[in-house]
Amino acid sequence: MAAHNLGTELDLSWISKVQVNHPAVLRRAQQVQARRTVKKEWQAAWLLKAVTFIDLTTLSGDDTSSNVQRLCYKAKYPIREDLLKALNMHDKDITTAAVCVYPARVCDAVRALKAAGCNIPVASVATGFPAGQTHLKTRLEEIRLAVEDGASEIDVVINRSLVLTGQWEALYDEIRQFRKACGEAHLKTILATGELGSLTNVYKASMIAMMAGSDFIKTSTGKETVNATFPVAIVMLRAIRDFFWKTGNKIGFKPAGGIRSAKDALAWLSLIKEELGDEWLKPELFRIGASTLLSDIERQARLAAVKQGRTAQAAQETKVCISRDTVETGQKGLTSVREAWENGKKHSGMLEGVIINSYESRQPTVCNTLCQNEKSVSQMASHCSCF
């Protein structure tokens, strides 16, 4: 992960006059969701990349050492080996970004990952997750114990009452203490945005958390009624961008809660691309909190393997002619998953494999972080550094 955010002195002038235009945010969210989709031949590569952003999570009351062990195995082998071979991606060492568990299960996760011979980070929730309604001393001790047990990332929850009552200095002080208790572990601050009352509060809480030293800001615990939504994410991402412009520090972003389908994952990657650009599309600055997302991604990977004609079943069904070096499918211009992955590392600018819906051809994009000129798909393909 990237270097720690050391934070800044509390400066309430950064938030004192902020008012979020709620209708404008909703329009922007609708615009982003409607404007861009990923071409089918590129989707598998995108989804495999999405796997590398996942904090694979189990936060259930019935968690045991055995199901944590299974979680860690899935984190190391998130996609079946036969599917990766069929997609010619078996040598890419695709794993999830981290595993996330309760503090009492950190030792189980560390032990399981060590036995598996991998260095996937262990993240632990803390500070009275999910409500954050315990004494401050208890919350700080929970962080310290999780770090002692081997957690290298700590997902803390804030005391929402401090936001709802405008006690920004108290919120800053608490998060500064969380930062100190984490030591060398990275601090991810959960804002529980569904319980903050307004988008203006979301922006202010985001800025305070970053000033206090958070390495990531996270939308939700996954336990709220309303979890990760595009309007909330846009406000948080704009706060991250503003903080970067003011300080030069890049802060990570983690949506969590309700992200279950491959389509959801693609939408979130596109949003990060739109709002912050390529630099944030790496595990050091972007994570997805999810527990069931992998199942759908693996399902889509299987479909991609069949379509690419790399399995015996696909060869029989579509009469694919496979040699050592070539695959003939009768579909000219078909882009392999490996080509999509590799080509994405060679270019910069627009996102590879993106389709601009028809109405955008009549007006320039309003995104500040991407190319301001209208471009064809072929032009965009020559400006990609997504992967």
Structure tokens belonging to residue 83:
């599917």
Question: Is 182 inside any structural domain?
Answer: yes
Structure tokens belonging to residue 329:
């499918």
Question: Is 7 inside any structural domain?
Answer: no
Position 179 scores a pLDDT of: 98
Do 286 and 354 belong to one domain? no
Question: Is 363 inside any structural domain?
Answer: yes
Please indicate whether residue 63 is annotated as part of the active site. Answer: no
pTM of the model: 0.83
Do 39 and 187 belong to one domain? yes
Position 315 scores a pLDDT of: 47
Q: Which domain holds residue 343?
A: 312-381
Mean pLDDT over 10-39 rounds to 90
Do 328 and 361 belong to one domain? yes
Mean pLDDT over 192-221 rounds to 98
Question: Is 387 inside any structural domain?
Answer: no
| Residue 246 clears pLDDT 70, i.e. is over it | yes
Position 36 scores a pLDDT of: 62
Q: Is 123 helix (H, G, I), strand (E, B) or coil?
A: strand
Position 335 scores a pLDDT of: 56
Question: Is 304 inside any structural domain?
Answer: no
Position 128 scores a pLDDT of: 97
Please indicate whether residue 85 is annotated as part of the active site. Answer: no
Each residue's pLDDT tens digit, 130-153 = 999 999 999 999 999 999 999 999
Distances (CA, A) of 157 to 15, 54, 128, 191: 21, 19, 7, 6
Do 149 and 182 belong to one domain? yes
More confident residue, 126 or 361: 126
Task: Pick the last residue of a domain from 297, 332, 365.
Answer: 297
Distances (CA, A) of 184 to 123, 137, 154, 275: 13, 20, 10, 29
Question: Is 83 inside any structural domain?
Answer: yes
Please indicate whether residue 346 is annotated as part of the active site. Answer: no
User: What is the percent of the chain with per-residue pLDDT over 90, rounded to a whole number?
Assistant: 69
Each residue's pLDDT tens digit, 350-364 = 344 443 332 232 233
Each residue's pLDDT tens digit, 61-113 = 999 999 999 999 999 999 999 999 988 888 889 999 999 999 999 999 999 99
Do 355 and 208 belong to one domain? no
Do 281 and 349 belong to one domain? no
Q: Looking at 49, 74, 188, 218, which residue is catalytic?
A: 218
Q: How many residues does the chain have?
A: 387
Do 293 and 375 belong to one domain? no
User: What is the percent of the chain with per-residue pLDDT over 70, rounded to a whole number?
Assistant: 80
| Residue 233 clears pLDDT 90, i.e. is over it | yes
CB 175 within 8 Å of CB 143: no
Mean pLDDT over 30-43 rounds to 79
Do 60 and 108 belong to one domain? yes
- CA 126 – CA 189 distance, rounded (Å): 10
Do 62 and 140 belong to one domain? yes
Do 289 and 262 belong to one domain? yes
- Amino acid present at 87: L
CB 159 within 8 Å of CB 174: yes
Structure tokens belonging to residue 40:
């089918």
Question: Is 166 inside any structural domain?
Answer: yes
- CA 176 – CA 136 distance, rounded (Å): 12
Domain with residue 146: its CATH number is 3.20.20.70
Do 246 and 184 belong to one domain? yes
| Residue 190 clears pLDDT 80, i.e. is over it | yes
CB 207 within 8 Å of CB 239: yes
Do 139 and 279 belong to one domain? yes
Cis peptide before 103 (omega within 30 of 0): no
Task: Pick the last residue of a domain from 246, 264, 297.
Answer: 297
If one counts the domains in the chain, the total is 2
377: CB partners within 8 A, 6+ apart: 39, 354, 355, 356
Task: Pick the last residue of a domain from 237, 269, 297.
Answer: 297
Position 339 scores a pLDDT of: 72
Per-position b or e across 273-306, b if 16+ CB within 10 A of its CB: bbbbbbebbbbbbbbbbbbebbebbbebbbebbb
* Confidence class for position 344, pLDDT limits 50, 70, 90: low
> How many Cβ atoms sit within 10 Å of the Cβ of residue 21?
11
Mean pLDDT over 21-26 rounds to 96
Q: Looking at 55, 108, 149, 155, which residue is catalytic?
A: 155
Q: Looking at 74, 204, 250, 254, which residue is catalytic?
A: 254
Mean pLDDT over 299-314 rounds to 72
Mean pLDDT over 187-208 rounds to 98
Question: Is 35 inside any structural domain?
Answer: yes
State the alpha helices, DSSP H only, in the chain: 22-35, 40-51, 65-76, 81-86, 106-115, 136-148, 160-164, 168-182, 199-211, 230-247, 262-275, 293-308, 312-318, 337-343, 377-381
* Confidence class for position 304, pLDDT limits 50, 70, 90: confident
